[in-house]
Amino acid sequence: MSSSGVRSHSPTLITGVGTLLFVAAIVHHITELLVVDSVLAPIAALMLDVPAAVGLMYAGHWLSTTDLDHQERWTVCVWCFASLVLFVAVIAATFGIRLAEGRPVSEPGFSLLIAAEAGGVAGFVGGYYNARARASARRATTARNALGFVNELIRHDLRNDLNVIHGHADLLAQRETGPDPGDPTVVREKSMEALTRIETSRAIADTLLSDPDLDAVDVVPIVHEITEQFDEAFRATVTSDLPERAVVTANAGVRSVIDNLVENAIEHNDTAEPRVDVTVVSGPNTVRIAVADNGSGIPPDRRADLLHPETTDEGGGLSLVSTLVDNFGGEISLGESAWGGAAVEVTLPAADSDPE
């Protein structure tokens, strides 16, 4: 099983360790009942052992019901096991010192079981709050990036659209006397673009800051429109390989996902002849959107920081894309393109129905 597969089973691992400790406690104390004259002492010891082991078993199940992602759950798992090992190692060290000094060691099994259970529970609690704090910090960073993105979208792109509309509206108002009559088609197109940007901004805010309303969205016309815009506006060759339809479960924010990926591929490409290729593959359950370029690529050791910046300023647009994709129920990965540049692959769940 791959490391990512192991991480996805973090709650099961914690429950499994709790179960092993529970069984070990039962076996140990039943053995004690057979060799000790007193019944109350082994039962009291069992009552001390069992709740912690059962608590660890339940903790693993409870972790699987939280809203923490696989990486955050793995953090809790690591803390849990690290603390368990540390507690056991400390108690075992005290036994070693006693033996080295020639002093007797009484009932080491019971002490080690208690140490393992207490360490596991303490580590789980500490790991959970650590993961929760990191998740909150990441959400705050994402919200900041989202608001910055929306602000830039409104201040730059929307203002440009409105300036064009305003200029052509003045020309239309003066069409009888002015040399240039203005073009109502431009006004209509720019108005629609402005409305689209506003809708995209609202969808991004809803997706990042609340529970979004997802619907069926065909990404093919979106990819086609965006690639044409960038191909005309930049000194880059932007191509696409698209099926007739590719309907995903998302909202208007998916436009920002595609727009950011294509824009990043162009802006961070310092070659003499920048090339970007967008490929969409529609499957029965998922839709794959791949954006590849011929730039210098992304070093493997930086890819995780770009997608999951935590409290750093790494990531920018890719961090926003990663969060949107995650909220759509999809996945994103970074790799190397056939040209040796960067390749970003987004997988989104296919919609059960067609867009309305």
Least trusted range by pLDDT, from 43-52, 189-198, 254-263? 189-198
Helices (H), 36-107: 40-65, 70-100
The pLDDT value recorded for residue 314 is 45
With a cut of 90, say whether residue 180 has pLDDT above it: no
Host H or E run for residue 195: helix 184-209
Topology of the domain covering 215-349: Heat Shock Protein 90 (3.30.565)
Least trusted range by pLDDT, from 138-142, 180-184, 259-263? 180-184
pLDDT average, residue stretch 139-143: 72
Alpha-carbon torsion 246, 250, 251, 255, what sign? negative
Task: Supply angle C-alpha 104, 110, 115, rounded to 5.
Answer: 105
Query: What pLDDT digit, counting tens, does each position of 334-350 carry?
Result: 999 999 999 999 999 99
With a cut of 60, say whether residue 4 has pLDDT above it: no
- C-alpha neighbours within 13 Å on the C-beta side of residue 281: 7
The pLDDT value recorded for residue 287 is 96
The pLDDT value recorded for residue 311 is 37
The whole-chain average pLDDT of the chain stands at 81
- Nearest Cα neighbor of 200 from 212, 189, 211 is 212
Domain ranges of the chain: 3-140, 142-209, 215-349
pTM here is 0.52
Give the residue, 91 or 36, on which the prediction is more confident: 91
Query: C-alpha distances in angstroms, 102 versus 62, 93, 96, 99, 105?
Result: 45, 14, 10, 5, 9
Give the residue, 179 or 166, on which the prediction is more confident: 166
Percent of the chain clearing pLDDT 90 (strictly above): 35
With a cut of 70, say whether residue 149 has pLDDT above it: no
The pLDDT value recorded for residue 253 is 83
- C-alpha neighbours within 13 Å on the C-beta side of residue 87: 19
